[in-house]
Amino acid sequence: MSETTATKQEVVEYSKTKPITSPKTARVLFEQMAQEFKMALPRHLTAERMFRIGVNALQRNPELFQCTQASLLDAMMTACQLGLPPDGVLGRGYFIVFKNRRVSPERKEVKFIPGYQGLIDLAYRHPKTKRIQPRIVYENDYLKVEYGSKPKFIHRPELKKDRGKPIAYYCEVELEGANPVPELMPIGDVVKHKNRFSRAKSGPWETDFNAMALKTVVRQAFKWIPACVEVDEALAQEDALVFDATATEVADQIAESRPSELDDLATRLEAESEEPEPGPEPEPEPEPEPQEGPEPEPEPEPEPEPSPKAKPNPKTEIMKIQSRILNMLGQHGVDSNGFDDLIDKAVKQKSFPANDNNTKDWSVDTWAAFEKWLQKRFDAKSAE
C-alpha cells in the first residue's frame, strides 16, 4: 500500500497538539474529515483532488510535517471554502509554516494563504469582471503613464535585448461597460509594503518576490472591482492574521475561517432575541358596497418579497474589525510587537470584556470594544 493511501480501517486519533509526522497521517486525517470538506468545496473541485494536492504540498516542504494536525485541517478547510487548491507551483494557494508562541511550549502550525493567481480566480467569479491582467515592468521596457482627464497607460516590453531588472508592477482591471483601469506600484512602494508586513528572513517574499509583488498590486487593484463575497472574505482573512502575533514569518496570511460552536450559538440566540413579539391582530376593514359602473381593472400581482438576508458569520465580522484595526495601526506606525503591548495594557486595565490576551478566544463584541479603546487612545495622543 502506498504511504499516501489510506484504507477505511485506518484511523488517526485527532489531536490539537500532535504533529502530522507523515503523508500517511495527513491522508488519513483528510479522509476522516471528508464529509465536512465536501460540503465546503465548490462544484468544480473534488475532495479527492484537494487531498492529493494537499499531501503533495506537504511533501514539497517537509517542515510542514512538524505542524499540528488541527492546524492542517483548519488550513485545508480554508482552502476548500475559498475553492483554491494549495498547489503552490501554480500560485493559487500555499500551505505556510508559522510558529505559535502564544502557547507553551510553542508549536508550529499550518496556515493557508492565497496566491495572486488565486485572488484573480476569486475576482473572476464576479459577473462584471471582464479582465484582470497583472504584469511586471522591467528597466529596459517602455512605460508611459499619465493621469488626469485624459489618462494614458502604455507598456511596451523590450523584445530585442535583455529587459533588465524589475522596476514596477501593475494590474489592469477591466469591467463590463467600462474602460480598463491600471493600478501601478513602483518597486520602492512594493519593498515598503514588504518591510511593513514581513520581517522574516525566509518565506514567499524571499523565495518568490515577483509573485508576492504581483499579489500586492492585484490586491490594490481590487478596489476597482464591485463587492464580491469570495474576494472580501479572502482579503479579510489575510488581514486577520496580522493580529496573530505568533505568525512572525509574514503578515499576508489567511486566518482560521470556521466559526466555533459558541459563535453559532450566540448568533442563534441573538436572532431569537430580535424577533418581534406578536401584537394584537388588526380588525378586518369593512368591505366596500358594490357600485354600478364598468368593472375595475384587475390589480397587478404584488412582487415577491426579497428573502431575508442571512445573519453575518461571526468570524467574518471579527475579520472586518481586525482589518480596520490593521489600517489604524499602520497609520500610527505600530508593528506586531507594539500591538502585543497594547493588548496586554488593555487587558490589565480591564478596559473591555477580555479575561486574557489570547485573542483567538475573543468574541465580536470584545474585538469591537478593543477597536473603540484603540481609537480613543490614538485620538488622545494626537490631541497632545
Range with the poorest average pLDDT among 20-34, 64-78, 176-190, 316-330 = 316-330
Regarding predicted confidence, which is higher, 257 or 281? 281
Q: How confident is the model at residue 368, as a pLDDT?
A: 84
Stretch 313-324: mean pLDDT:
73
Residues 172-211 pLDDT 10s:
988 888 888 889 999 999 998 888 777 666 667 888 889 8
Band of residue 327 on the pLDDT scale cut at 50, 70, 90: low
Residue 42 clears pLDDT 60, i.e. is over it: yes
State the distance between the two ends of the chain, measured CA to CA, in whole angstroms: 70
pLDDT in tens, 151-177: 889 999 999 999 999 999 999 988 888
Average pLDDT, the chain: 75
pLDDT of residue 371: 84
- Per-residue pLDDT band for 9 (boundaries 50, 70, 90) equals very low
- pLDDT band at 271, cuts 50/70/90? very low
Give the lowest-confidence range in 63-67, 247-251, 296-300, 324-328.
247-251
Return the pLDDT at 245: 35
Return the higher-pLDDT residue of 374 and 357. Answer: 374
Is this model's pTM higher than 0.85 or not?
no
Per the CB < 8 A criterion, the answer to whether 188 and 229 are in contact is no
The predicted-structure confidence for 61-114, as pLDDT tens digits, reads as follows 889 999 999 999 999 999 998 899 998 777 788 898 888 887 878 889 998 888
What average pLDDT score do residues 235-246 get? Answer: 51
Give pLDDT, residue 251: 34
Q: Average of pLDDT values for 279-285?
A: 53
Mean local confidence (pLDDT), 3-22: 63
**Residue 176: what pLDDT?**
87
**C-alpha cell, 367:** 474585538
Binning pLDDT at 50, 70 and 90, where does residue 4 land?
Answer: very low
Does 20 score more than 70 pLDDT? yes
Let me know if 209 is exposed, middle or buried by CB neighbors in 10 A (0-12, 13-18, 19+). middle
Residue 135 to residue 84: CA distance in whole angstroms: 22
| SS3 track for the chain | CCCCCCCCCCCCCCCCCCECCCHHHHHHHHHHCHHHHHHHCCCCCCHHHHHHHHHHHHHHCHHHHHCEHHHHHHHHHHHHHHCCCCCCCCCCEEEEEEEECCCCCCEEEEEEEECHHHHHHHHCCCCCEEEEEEEEEECCCEEEEECCCCCEEEEECCCCCCCCCEEEEEEEEEECCCCCEEEEEEHHHHHHHHHHHCCCCCCHHHHCHHHHHHHHHHHHHHHHCCCCHHHHHHHHHHHHHHHCCCCCCCCCCCCCCCCCHHHHHHHHHHHHHCCCCCCCCCCCCCCCCCCCCCCCCCCCCCCCCCCCCCCCCHHHHHHHHHHHHHHHHHHCCCCHHHHHHHHHHHHHCCCCCCCCCCHHHCCHHHHHHHHHHHHHHHHHHHHC
